[in-house]
Amino acid sequence: MMQAKFPPFSALRQKFGGKVRSLHAERENESYLLAADPDIRGISEYLRGEYNARLVTVFAEDRCAVEGVFFNYYVFEQKGNTEYLIVRAPVPVDDPQFPSLSADLPAANWQEREIQDWFGLTAIGHPNPRRVALHDNWPDVHPLRKDFPIDTVLPPFEGERHTYRPALGEGVFQIPVGPVHAGIIEPGHFSFAVAGEPILYLQLRMFYTHKGTEKLFEELPVHKGVFLAESISGDSSFSHGTAFCQAIEAAAAIEVPLRALIMRTILLELERIYNHVADIGAMAADVGFVVANAHASRLRELLVTLNEQLTGNRLLRGMVCAGGVRRGWDAAQLDTLAGTIDAFAKEFKDLIRLVHSSESTRDRLEHTGVLLPAKAKDLGIVGVAGRASGIDLDVRRDHPYAAYRRFSFRVPVYQAGDVWHRMLVRVEEVSESIGIIRSAIDHDLHEEFRVPVPPIPPDRCALSAVEGWRGEIIHWIRTGPGNRLERCKIKDPSLNNWPALVEAVQGNIIADFPVINKSFNLSYSGTDR
């Protein structure tokens, strides 16, 4: 397929004149467009309209001490183009505000509000400018500014907590769920307005356990940053660790050995499989099919035991590192990998036949929790949830990393957008992942698995993307002196996808909320980070 191309600087200068100052390629797949001021609405409309670009993420950086301004970054991509175009827009210190894109581009909603909370830059014209990351009773602080010390002790929080939109009308009731839940999960608050059983609308509140991860990266040496990255979302530890290492490797121009790239690919797919099979079982359990869940739980255990045999950790922590992976595999481990995958593949087919045999399960999942493709596109939904609603995105194919260029696989995409099709996406992705792993095992896995990491030059920027099992993970870094980082931006796919849950539950009954929620299975930790 012929690649689409972003416009050259001459076309941008002709279109926008002095509104654009420069365009430079940091590396082959990453270019930076410097805007003249904070207002990039025209540039965004032009890229999305004329070049069918998608806004991937929005974030800010405090460069006041070095360049005298803040910067907002807007990352765009195009179908069929492996390049990311990153628009860098200065925000003056004495007038810290920027025009919001959210009214026309709902995908930017939470991310612009995070900029307001973390950096104190006001998004002018935002349709809902309330706090999102900082809760309402936090003091007026902006923790990602450089002048905010990480060891700051805040006074006791006082004042109003989050106020939810009231449920009004005869027979309309408000049902609060959380933030503390019955299961062993992290906190999130769901406030339902119901008329009888049907859900009229849902309001949700996250960021109850914000960990300050992006601030913590500024305190760590680069070689220890991978351990922090692995803690962003526990069930995606290898994906986040890989995304971080790829950013470091790009900034330092490190060429990772092929053996390590293939091993990373295998482990990324194992992470995808063990999570997908657990979700398939959990969705079955939420509609009363506990036998299917028992089989799925057994298969998950088979895989996490394999993870431990390959890496020493059931959730794949401690294996990836900048420059490759920490250890190689011997012949016995490779035999165990091949044998376990063969056994899993056979039993996974039995599990899916069991699920398909249950008419009552299919009846509960079909037409439940529908997210229409148009709404999914507006909200910028990614990953499994996006592909079930017509969003044909997959970083493995669109921006190949690790060893994915060497393997053929299909990206399943459906239009129905219901719980059943979110399950089907998982089922088909597991089958594709098995094929990738089997192909990868055929490669020579006895060569070098790691190269030394040289001192990393300061003031290098790099963007890294990984298709985690939930969806698109983004890490962006700026290196600092002394092998440390000035900034590390993290975007977990859950940040994109929580607003989809609000849309998908409308018109469904309260009893279906658990399975709708499980069909998205979003990460509180990855959102809160």
Determine, yes or no, domain membership for 140.
no
The answer to whether residues 301 and 189 belong to one domain is no
**In 56-182, alpha helices (H):** 64-67, 109-119
Q: How much is the average pLDDT of 202-228?
A: 90
Is residue 108 over pLDDT 80? yes
Sheet holding 472-480, edge to edge: 461-467, 472-480, 484-491
Determine, yes or no, domain membership for 158.
no
pLDDT (tens digit per residue) in 398-420: 999 999 999 999 999 999 999 99
The answer to whether residues 359 and 294 belong to one domain is yes
HSE, CB side, 13 Å, CA atoms: give it for residue 252: 25
Q: How far apart are the first and last CA of the chain?
A: 37
Q: How confident is the model at residue 2 (pLDDT cuts 50, 70, 90)?
A: very low
Residue 444 is predicted with a pLDDT of 78
Q: Are strands 189-195 and 172-177 parallel, antiparallel or unpaired?
A: antiparallel
Range of the domain at 185: 172-205
133, 111 contact by CB (below 8 A): no
The answer to whether residues 194 and 76 belong to one domain is no
9, 20 contact by CB (below 8 A): yes
457-463 contact pairs (CB < 8 A, 24+):
457/251, 457/252, 458/486, 459/486, 460/251, 460/252, 461/26, 461/32, 461/251, 462/26, 462/27, 462/30, 462/247, 462/248, 462/250, 462/251, 463/30, 463/75, 463/84, 463/86, 463/247, 463/250
Determine, yes or no, domain membership for 464.
yes
Q: Which burial class, exposed, middle or buried, applies to 484 when counting CB atoms under 10 A from its CB (0-12, 13-18, 19+)? A: middle
Mean pLDDT is lowest, of 159-168, 236-245, 255-264, for: 159-168
Q: How confident is the model at residue 178 (pLDDT cuts 50, 70, 90)?
A: confident
Report the alpha-carbon distance of residue 477 to residue 217 in Å, rounded: 10
From 265, 267, 279, 281, select the one nearest 314 (Cα to Cα). 267
Strands (E), 430-471: 461-467
Sorted by sequence, the CB contacts under 8 Å of residue 276 that are 6+ apart come out as: 426, 427, 429, 430, 433, 469
Looking at the structure of the chain, the number of domains it has is 3
106, 379 contact by CB (below 8 A): yes
The answer to whether residues 326 and 410 belong to one domain is yes
Determine, yes or no, domain membership for 223.
no
Query: 123 has which bridge partners?
Result: 98
pLDDT (tens digit per residue) in 470-514: 999 999 999 999 999 999 999 999 999 999 999 999 999 999 999
Report the alpha-carbon distance of residue 371 to residue 388 in Å, rounded: 9
Report the alpha-carbon distance of residue 202 to residue 502 in Å, rounded: 5
How many Cβ atoms are within 10 Å of 401's Cβ, its own excluded? 21
The answer to whether residues 59 and 183 belong to one domain is no
Determine, yes or no, domain membership for 220.
no
The answer to whether residues 106 and 177 belong to one domain is no
CATH code (residue 365): 1.10.645.10
CATH code (residue 96): 3.30.460.80
Q: How confident is the model at residue 156 (pLDDT cuts 50, 70, 90)?
A: confident
Q: How much is the average pLDDT of 293-314?
A: 97
What is the phi/psi pair of residue 414, to 5°? Answer: -125, 170
Domain end among 162, 182, 205 = 205
pTM of this prediction? 0.95
The answer to whether residues 374 and 448 belong to one domain is yes
- Rounded to the nearest integer, the mean pLDDT of the chain is 93
The answer to whether residues 291 and 199 belong to one domain is no
Determine, yes or no, domain membership for 413.
yes
Determine, yes or no, domain membership for 160.
no
490 to 107, 144, 221, 226: CA distances (angstroms): 16, 13, 17, 13
The answer to whether residues 193 and 241 belong to one domain is no
How many Cβ atoms are within 10 Å of 237's Cβ, its own excluded? 23
The answer to whether residues 476 and 393 belong to one domain is yes
Residue 173 is predicted with a pLDDT of 87
Report the alpha-carbon distance of residue 456 to residue 479 in Å, rounded: 7
Report the alpha-carbon distance of residue 73 to residue 50 in Å, rounded: 20
The answer to whether residues 260 and 355 belong to one domain is yes
108 DSSP 8-state letter: G
Determine, yes or no, domain membership for 348.
yes
Q: How much is the average pLDDT of 507-529?
A: 91
Please give the structure tokens belonging to residue 524.
Answer: 């509180």
Residue 3 is predicted with a pLDDT of 55
The answer to whether residues 86 and 182 belong to one domain is no
